[in-house]
Amino acid sequence: MHARRNALLLLHLTVFIWGFTGILGKLIQQSPLHLVYTRTAIAAAGLAVIALWRRRSLSPFTPDIGQYLLTSLLITGHWLTFFLAIKISTASIAAACLSTSTVFTALLEPFWFKRKLRLYEVVLGVIVVAALVLIFGLESGYREGILVATLSALLSAWFNIVNGVLVKRDSALRIGFYEMVGAVLVLCAYLVYENDLPPPLWELPSSDIVYHLILGLVCTSFAFVAGIAVMRQLSPFTVVLTVNLEPVYTILIALLIWGSEEKLHTGSYLGIALILACLLVNGWYQKRKTRNEVVEPDPLSHG
């Protein structure tokens, strides 16, 4: 129980940090391609330093190395579409659309974990989608951004589920490192082909350097590994549902910084309340299920 509680606390800290991702993406004056390339390069370097400091192996000799590199493609696609959605809409819209990842997770997780579809996951996922509609209504001016951000949510759900499988067999640090390296290699190859490599970090404006370091080291190196590590104790659905707090944090921070530019409709407050209610219901259900499993072990659980 203590391990699960600590994992939940770490997860909520991680999600709060992720809440700044969209804000930093809007503040940094770079295209989504350049932004994600620089972010992943800094993150990979940061993870290498952490591994050296903690004397953890980053040896590529693992049977899952190919899966790490393939998963990096999903992560790359997720971040590219997320930052693109920010550029063509608002930070609040892009972040809130990630709530749809709950629905995608409820549909995809049973396939990866070879279990039946759980009705309550689908119901909670549908409520989150309803909350998303309440928050933004049918804003015709941002339909393209909503579509791109929803695609980003699908990719987010997908790679979180895959990492939920991989973390059972390897350390979160090594998984995160090779997923970042894979993203860097893919983006570097494309940017070299297009002759469009971004300038070195030290040649950027001082504000962009600071934002990139926060984004790469805090929001990625630390938060990404922490987000994988908690999956040892928490299901991918619980992780993704909790991540729905990210848009809440992003919206509040964006309102403080940009004011009316990020202002939401009156119904958005009800939408945020619905998201929080889903988190509470899922937390209660998971706690109750864990307690029942301890008191009354399932005789078929080992079969």
Q: For 117-131, how does the pLDDT look when each residue is reduced to its tens digit (9 = 90+)?
A: 777 777 877 887 777
* Cα angle 295, 298, 301; round to 5: 135
- Indicate whether 294 belongs to any domain: no
Confidence label for 178 from pLDDT (cuts 50, 70 and 90)? very high
- Indicate whether 298 belongs to any domain: no
- Indicate whether 303 belongs to any domain: no
- Indicate whether 250 belongs to any domain: yes
- Alpha helices per DSSP H over 58-196: 65-88, 91-97, 101-113, 119-136, 143-166, 172-193
- Indicate whether 218 belongs to any domain: yes
Per-residue b/e over 247-261, b at no fewer than 16 CB within 10 Å? bbbbbebbbeeeeee
Whether this model's pTM surpasses 0.75: yes
Alpha-carbon distance of 8 to 241, in angstroms, equals: 12
Count of structural domains, the chain: 1
For 239, residues 6+ apart whose C-beta sits below 8 A from its C-beta are 11, 160, 164, 227, 230, 231
Q: What is the pLDDT of residue 171?
A: 85
- Indicate whether 45 belongs to any domain: yes
Question: Which domain covers residue 10, as residue numbers?
Answer: 2-288
240-262: pLDDT as tens digits: 677 767 777 887 888 888 776 66
- Indicate whether 302 belongs to any domain: no
- Averaged over 75-95, what is the pLDDT? 87
- Indicate whether 242 belongs to any domain: yes
- Averaged over 143-153, what is the pLDDT? 86
Tell the residue number behind the tokens 């297009």, with chain if given.
Answer: 194
For 52, residues 6+ apart whose C-beta sits below 8 A from its C-beta are none
For 46, residues 6+ apart whose C-beta sits below 8 A from its C-beta are 216, 217, 220, 221, 222
> Among 9-13, 86-90, 222-226, where is mean pLDDT lowest?
222-226
> Are 208 and 28 contacting, i.e. CB atoms less than 8 angstroms apart?
yes
Name the 3-class secondary structure at 157: helix
